[in-house]
Structure 1
């Protein structure tokens, strides 16, 4: 792969990382790992190879890989006869991310109900809670009607 193509790939990986930081509050290295694992070839990469590519320390990468495998976005794979562990992004990783967000929208319903009980269900405070609840319920319902195809 030429330097220009590698630079292009790394700029894209950095855009993914920025998105993950700004939209989800993830550490930049986590976003870089996800970005790299989406675009790399072959799809399985060693921890050392990932660290070298995204210019991360091995220690930092190890903790991030543990997090990503624990939450099910990345899978550790072994190759027969090879002692090195490789990692790949799960095919449904982004569906899992979105589903977790949708689940959190549903959880706000309980919080809103508690707020209504505190405010007596009347007045401007209740209206602000109701506006938040309606917006989050609307978003959840749209997603439920339009599940992703993969």
Structure 2
């Protein structure tokens, strides 16, 4: 791995950490973005990133469940991974689904906080309104992204 590639990988580790993931998650994803060949085995990933195969396996499963990477087909039973096109959009869909499910909890909170507690109710309403707005805009956001990709692709 070249020094500039290592710097990119380390920077992406920090980006992913700021977004709520782990540094290793960002580093693994970054390497899969720039590596050649574009699919890598667990052994290859562990060696390049300087982490254990167990750590790579755990992070790879998390990225795979988030729709960011996938198993690459192999003639043997080797686990190889590659980046999925549209992975970030899929990750956003997962996040938006979490926001959508949070609305039920906020609605429940509103049902137990009566009008006799105006400060608490105001805080809950503002939070619920933000989540409702986000859910309302999420589908439009993802559609605009797809339209943008289609035009510039």
TM-score normalized with structure 1 length: 0.82
Query: What pairs up with 1:96-135 in 2 under 5 angstroms?
Result: 96-121=90-115, 123-135=118-130
Q: Are 1:17 and 2:50 matched, yes or no?
A: no
Deviation at 1:72, TM superposition (A): 3.5
Q: CA separation of 1:121/1:33 partners in 2, compared to 1, >3 Å: closer, same or farther?
A: farther
Unaligned ranges ≥5, structure 1? none
Classify the secondary structure of the residue corresponding to 2:72: strand
RMSD of aligned residue pairs (Cα, Å): 2.1
Give 3-state SS (helix, strand or coil) of 2:131's partner.
helix
| CA deviation after TM superposition for structure 1 residue 63, in Å | 2.3
List runs of 5+ in structure 2 lacking aligned partners.
Answer: none
How many residue pairs align between the two structures?
144
State how 1:67-82 maps to structure 2 within 5 Å: 67-80=62-75
Structure 1 partner of 2:137:
142
Return the alpha-carbon distance in structure 2 between the equivalents of residues 142 and 66 of structure 1: 29
Q: Paired residue for 1:52?
A: 47
Secondary structure in 2 aligned to 1:102?
helix
